[in-house]
Amino acid sequence: MKRNRQEVFMEILTVFNENNVNTDALSFDVRLDAPDFPIDSVLFMKLLVDLENRFQIELNYPEALGAEKPTLGSLTDYIEGCLARKTQ
C-alpha cells in the first residue's frame, strides 16, 4: 500500500502513542538527538522495532539515523523510501 510522507509520519506518531509517548508537540523538525527528546534507550529500541513491524521493513541503523541532524522528518523520509522500494 503506497503512503505519502504525511501518512507515514502519522503512522509513526501512532506507534509512538501506542508506546505512551506524548506526540502533541512532535513535528517533522523535532530532533531525535535533542537533549530533551523524552525517550530513553530501551524505549527507543522498542519504538524502532515496532516501526519495523508496522511497516514490515528493516531499519538500517546508519542510513535511518545517521543524518547530520536526525529528525522525525528524516526518519519519515527514510521509511517512505523503504516503502517505495518495496512497491517497485
Binding residues for other proteins (CB under 8 A): 32-35, 37, 39-42, 44-46, 48-49, 58-63, 65-66, 68, 70
- CB nearer other proteins, residue 13 or residue 48: 48
Q: Quick check: 46 and 17 in contact, CB under 8 A?
A: no
Q: How far is the CB of 33 from other proteins (least distance, A)?
A: 4
Shortest distance, position 58 Cβ to other proteins, whole Å: 8
For the CB of residue 2, give the shortest distance to other proteins in the complex, in Å. 25
Q: What is the phi-psi region of residue 24: left when phi exceeds 0, alpha when psi lies from -120 to 50, beta otherwise?
A: alpha
Read off φ and ψ for residue 8, nearest 5 degrees. -60, -45
Cell of 58: 528493516
